[in-house]
Amino acid sequence: MHHFIIPKPKFLNSPSYIHFMETMKEGIAKEAKIAETSFFDKIYSPLVIFFIFAAIGCVIGLVNYIRNERHHKPANQRLFFFERL
């Protein structure tokens, strides 16, 4: 296995890039301050967490459902939930 040495790009030391990074940091800091006080953020973050857990729960439930169906029925009686509708 060869380990390739990746050359560091020269623009990382250029003054324009350094200035760009500083302005980006300032912009991110400003956005963070706005996000702390914003009403939207207070509602949005719990919703996102809820939907992530809901999605995980749905996946786990579906996997368990399919596994149980396969264990308890012989092959000729196997039906997925969409075939039963």
Determine the pLDDT at residue 71.
65
SS (H, E, C) the chain: CCCCCCCCCHHHHCHHHHHHHHHHHHHHHHHHHHHHHCHHHHHHHHHHHHHHHHHHHHHHHHHHHHHHHHHHCCHHHCCCHHHHC
Mean of pLDDT values over 21-40:
72
Instruction: Tell me the residue length of the chain.
Output: 85
pTM: 0.35
Top pLDDT among 22 and 42 is at 22
Top pLDDT among 4 and 65 is at 65
Q: pLDDT tens across 36-75, in order?
A: 666 666 667 788 889 999 999 999 999 988 888 776 666 5
φ, ψ (nearest 5 deg) of residue 9: -65, 145
Half-sphere exposure (Cβ direction) of 69: Cα atoms closer than 13 Å: 16
